[in-house]
Amino acid sequence: MDIHGFLANVTMIPVAFGESLILPHGWTLETELYFYGVCLILFWCGALHRMLHLCLVTVGLCGLFVLPLEFRLFPAHLLSQYKTLPYHLGIMFWGACFRMAYDNPSKPLRIRPAGSGVLSRLSLTYRSAVAYVTIPVVGIALAGAITDWRNHNTFHLPISLAYMIGIATFAMLATLLKLRIRLLSWIGKISYSIYLLHSLPLFLAFWLCQRFHIVGWPLGLYMIVPLVPLIPLSWVGYRLCEAPFVKLAHTLTSRRGSRVFASGDATS
């Protein structure tokens, strides 16, 4: 790949510059970039830490995915990563709703200022709000799985099921089946670096297998071998890059954040 292709990948949106992805999972970085962009817009609007707005954004993104899909509004040549972009963003914002409900499950959700009408009498807690928001998020995956089953689409069916299994596993491990294991906590700390860097030892292992004709091993063993260099590599990446920038971000935002939360308006 030439320097132009490399620089295009650094932006995390190489398709916009007519270049292909260096890493197969690079499209997830692009999705993450759009997520940060939406977060920035919500931050400027003062809605980033408001449960009601996060719920509305989540449901809205789910609708933005379903409606064009149902009415076949997506161009035929559009990459699947862009077709599913609203849904993936919706799942990410569902995670933000879940976190707020996890921290303050019994906090009342204010639908609108006091007044007359049905909405003014509607009372929801953060816990119940995230339960309602979960319905469209999981419902989309369930509908996809049912469609795949009816159409005998054995290729896409596991993908649809994986969304439901992933969301259910996350919710259960965060609430009912909490694992208080220090090693898992440490791996969770460096998990983002694992996500970013996992392809490097994976490609190295793939090259070694080709170079020395290492074949016939169980698939699980091929997956375990790259983990040996991946864990220390991810720890180094976390210590040298991620942790310093997280600390810098906390330094830059702590003063403003303390004022917002002290006012009591951050999580309305």
Q: Tens of pLDDT along 63-80?
A: 999 999 999 898 888 989
Whether 31 is in a domain gets the answer: no
Mean pLDDT of the chain: 89
Residue-level pLDDT at 265: 53
Integer Cα distance of 26 and 39 in angstroms: 20
Based on the fold, state whether residues 230 and 245 are members of the same structural domain: yes
Whether residue 27 has pLDDT greater than 60: yes
CA proximity to 80, closest of 65, 94, 60, 95: 65
Whether residue 51 has pLDDT greater than 60: yes
Based on the fold, state whether residues 203 and 148 are members of the same structural domain: no
Residue-level pLDDT at 141: 97
Whether 232 is in a domain gets the answer: yes
Q: How many residues does the chain have?
A: 268
Based on the fold, state whether residues 115 and 155 are members of the same structural domain: yes
Contact 98, 130 (CB under 8 A): yes
Whether 1 is in a domain gets the answer: no
Give Cα separations from 167 to 54, 123, 139, 257 (angstroms). Answer: 18, 26, 11, 29
Whether 140 is in a domain gets the answer: yes
- Specify the DSSP element, H or E, that contains 108: strand 108-109
Based on the fold, state whether residues 162 and 189 are members of the same structural domain: no
Whether residue 28 has pLDDT greater than 60: yes
Out of 118-122, 160-164, 253-257, pick the least confident.
118-122
Whether 24 is in a domain gets the answer: no
Looking at per-residue pLDDT, the higher value among 154 and 9 belongs to 154
Range of the domain at 98: 49-178
Domain count, the chain: 2
Residue-level pLDDT at 215: 87
**Residue 188 CB-half CA count within 13 A:** 8
| Token pair for 173 | 């491990």
User: Last residue of some domain: 139, 163, 178?
Assistant: 178
Give Cα separations from 195 to 49, 61, 186, 235 (angstroms). Answer: 26, 25, 14, 12
User: Last residue of some domain: 147, 178, 209?
Assistant: 178
Based on the fold, state whether residues 118 and 59 are members of the same structural domain: yes
Mean pLDDT value of segment 190-204: 92
Residue-level pLDDT at 220: 85
Whether 13 is in a domain gets the answer: no
pLDDT in tens, 91-145: 999 999 999 999 999 999 877 655 555 555 667 899 999 999 999 999 999 999 9
